[in-house]
Structure 1
Amino acid sequence: MSPDDRALVDRFCDMLAAEAGASRHTLAAYRGDLAAAAAVLGSLGAADAEALKALGGQWTALAAATVARRSSALRRFYGFLVEEGLRADDPSDGLPRPKVKRPLPRLLSTEEVAAMLSDAAERAVAGAPLARRNHALLELLYGSGLRASELVSLPRRSVRRSDPFLILRGKGEKERLVPISDAAHRAIANWLDGADDSPWLFPGGRGPLSRVRLFQIVRAMAARVGIAPERVSPHVLRHAFATHLLEGGADLRTLQALLGHADIATTQIYTHVDSRRLVELVNERHPLARRHRGESD
């Protein structure tokens, strides 16, 4: 990437961080996509519509989701240049717009999660420190719907026995309230009772537990109760949290807040999980349905 392009990308990323609250991971992703485009175009700042249209032809071997992400990054980049008066025109109309079908999340039943929790709780009673830690990890993953990165980065002081929730800085550096169940509180207290002093709730080596290690722990816990390990991950447990809440009657707006989704469209993926229950909900709760049954409001 040329020095001129690098300067433009730096200004663009400064804007994303200041105005959109983009995380360092998001900024790194933007930089990577723009650098990949610059390697083909030669110059980001001077590229015209024809060059960008030809760029789409260079991406034919890439997955649709990758093409969509790179196109989105370039559109936002050139929109920024126009807004800042750094370009008179926006050449991004020629970029491809592939249709990306969002994959449905893998699901665990309530019985399967209950089996994992029951096994983890029984092992924690035996008193082994790692068993107590694993039980607390599982209670938080499923009971609060945390992302893996959010869980492993929790400071030790973030969970207080007197508070039914914690304030979490999640994706995009946005803060949200995360409820903590009584079972999770008990599991965490059991884990911390006698645990080594550390600034992290779940330490691992010289810093917090790594996401890779968390992934391994969760899969091992699944295997112990007869669940195929490839079906389970920290993110699958987050999906289970959302799915089972929706099945229990939670509305999408509440679910959006609990999961920390910026856009409710992201949360709507969970409406597929129990369409029969949603139809029954309309038939039972809608005023017209009650009138048809002869009930008063």
Structure 2
Amino acid sequence: MRYKVDAKESFEQSLLFWLDRFIKSKLTSLSNRHVEENAKLSSIIGSLNHGSKTMEELKELAKEARNIGLIGINLFINPLEKFYYYIVPMGLSSLKEIDEELLSEFLASQTGSLSDATKKNYRIALLGLFKFMDKQNEDEKGNSHQFRIELKNWGGLGGRKGEKLPAHMYKEELSRFFKAIDETEFKPYAQAKNRLLIKLIIFTGMRVSEALGLRVKDMVKDGEYFVFQIRGKGNKPRTAMIKCEHIEHDLHEWMEYRSSDSQLLFQSRTGKPLTQAYVSYIMDKILMSAGIRKEKNGAHMLRHTFATLLYQKNRDLILVQEALGHADLNTSRIYTHFDKERLKIAADTMDGLS
């Protein structure tokens, strides 16, 4: 079914109307393989069909969807929430007044302090919303309004030269970190689970969402290795391996505690999927115990640490790309910046000449 651009009486209500439908479209198109509470997802979609009364209500529905496994929804709801509170006070009379220039001004004024990766997420969210509206709006005569938002010339991105190098741990920090994994105290039923989860990420470089989505049947033992079948971004499959000696004790202990009702390898005490917020809590506690503080302390730093050491040890970008599941080799190229041996060659350039 298609709707008028200005579907409601006021600009604010019309914008919220379209945000409801766009977020609903994302909830039904994102991979739901990690969602076990299907009734809850149906309830959230039903609420969006009826329409949110406020932006806060829409944000809460998106939060509920994220908590049951649709992690990717944050890519859209966070930028669009900020856009909502930016544009509503302007007093526009119609959504048709929104154009490329206004969106560029929003991005320039609201994302200046953010990383390039986050800025790209803002652009993706805006493009997604307005392309959705281009396809779904229609007036009484059957005509549709086309926003034709492209944001190709937005100059807010600094390019690869403007990006910060990803936070990672050095070898001397890693020895303290591994010790802290085993020594940090958690509640008895979560002790082995937390150790196993963090070790899987640091020893394989898998994303947090990939680790949380692992099912018991995705794991098999092959000689002295455990082999994991991972579903990465875009539902793309890849394989990760880890030596049994690193996780066998924790795995055995966790399987003794774990409920057999869920297919997921990792779950809460009540059998529900774990959240990224829970993993952040684990990381904070372990890092504090190890006396390590970084600009970004989340578990994604473990993935960067794995990739950095993998490249330093093998000098093989293709291997890094395959191990991390990068679609583009250029994404893996960032880890060459940590190659001190290559930099030493540059440092020796003027030897014997000065």
Are positions 1:110 and 2:175 aligned together? no
Q: How does 1:45-124 map to 2 (within 5 A)?
A: 46=96, 51-64=99-112, 65=114, 68-74=120-126, 90=148, 92=150, 96-100=154-158, 101-121=162-182
1:240 Cα deviation after fit: 0.6
Pairing partner for 2:248 from 181, 186, 190 = 186
Structure 2: unaligned runs, 5 residues or longer: 8-13, 33-68, 137-142, 346-354
**Residues 184-210 of structure 1, C-alpha deviations (whole Å, 9 max, x = no match):** 441443333522324232221431232
Q: How does 1:1-297 map to 2 (within 5 A)?
A: 2-3=6-7, 25-26=71-72, 29-30=75-76, 33=79, 36=83, 46=96, 51-64=99-112, 65=114, 68-74=120-126, 90=148, 92=150, 96-100=154-158, 101-121=162-182, 129-162=189-222, 164-198=226-260, 199=262, 200-206=264-270, 207-228=272-293, 232-277=297-342
Alpha-carbon distance in structure 2 between the residues aligned to 1:71 and 1:231: 23
Alpha-carbon RMSD across the aligned residues, in angstroms, is 4.3
Given residue 248 of structure 1, which amino acid in structure 2 is its aligned partner?
A: K
The answer (yes or no) to whether the contact 2:134–2:144 under 8 Å persists in 1 is yes
1:106 Cα deviation after fit: 1.2
Go from structure 1 to structure 2 and tell me whether the alpha carbon gap of 1:16 and 1:174 turns closer, same or farther (over 3 Å shift): farther
Q: What SS class does the counterpart of residue 201 from structure 1 fall into?
A: coil
Go from structure 1 to structure 2 and tell me whether the alpha carbon gap of 1:263 and 1:216 turns closer, same or farther (over 3 Å shift): same
Aligned to 1:293: none
1:144 Cα deviation after fit: 0.9
1:278 Cα deviation after fit: 7.1
Given residue 254 of structure 2, which amino acid in structure 1 is its aligned partner?
A: L
Instruction: Identify the range of structure 1 (92-101 vs 79-88) with the bigger mean alpha-carbon deviation.
Output: 79-88
TM-score, normalising length: structure 2:
0.60
Q: What SS class does the counterpart of residue 269 from structure 1 fall into?
A: helix
The answer (yes or no) to whether the contact 1:154–1:202 under 8 Å persists in 2 is yes
Q: What SS class does the counterpart of residue 220 from structure 2 fall into?
A: coil
**Residues 104-145 of structure 1, C-alpha deviations (whole Å, 9 max, x = no match):** 111211232233224434679xxx553322321222011011
Alpha-carbon distance in structure 2 between the residues aligned to 1:33 and 1:228: 28
TM-score, normalising length: structure 1:
0.70
The answer (yes or no) to whether the contact 2:26–2:73 under 8 Å persists in 1 is no
The answer (yes or no) to whether the contact 2:287–2:293 under 8 Å persists in 1 is yes
The answer (yes or no) to whether the contact 1:67–1:96 under 8 Å persists in 2 is no
The answer (yes or no) to whether the contact 1:145–1:241 under 8 Å persists in 2 is yes
The answer (yes or no) to whether the contact 1:144–1:181 under 8 Å persists in 2 is no
Go from structure 1 to structure 2 and tell me whether the alpha carbon gap of 1:278 and 1:178 turns closer, same or farther (over 3 Å shift): farther
The answer (yes or no) to whether the contact 2:204–2:240 under 8 Å persists in 1 is yes
Go from structure 1 to structure 2 and tell me whether the alpha carbon gap of 1:219 and 1:32 turns closer, same or farther (over 3 Å shift): closer
Question: Across the two proteins, how many residue pairs are aligned to each other?
Answer: 275
Given residue 56 of structure 1, which amino acid in structure 2 is its aligned partner?
A: S
1:165 Cα deviation after fit: 1.9
Given residue 196 of structure 1, which amino acid in structure 2 is its aligned partner?
A: R
1:249 Cα deviation after fit: 1.0
The answer (yes or no) to whether the contact 2:221–2:227 under 8 Å persists in 1 is no
Go from structure 1 to structure 2 and tell me whether the alpha carbon gap of 1:2 and 1:27 turns closer, same or farther (over 3 Å shift): farther
1:169 Cα deviation after fit: 1.6
The answer (yes or no) to whether the contact 2:23–2:77 under 8 Å persists in 1 is no
Given residue 227 of structure 2, which amino acid in structure 1 is its aligned partner?
A: F
Structure 1: unaligned runs, 5 residues or longer: 281-297
Q: What SS class does the counterpart of residue 228 from structure 2 fall into?
A: strand
The answer (yes or no) to whether the contact 2:308–2:335 under 8 Å persists in 1 is yes
The answer (yes or no) to whether the contact 1:252–1:267 under 8 Å persists in 2 is yes
Q: What SS class does the counterpart of residue 61 from structure 1 fall into?
A: helix
**Residues 197-234 of structure 1, C-alpha deviations (whole Å, 9 max, x = no match):** 24232221431232222212122222223323776331
Go from structure 1 to structure 2 and tell me whether the alpha carbon gap of 1:262 and 1:224 turns closer, same or farther (over 3 Å shift): same
Given residue 157 of structure 2, which amino acid in structure 1 is its aligned partner?
A: K
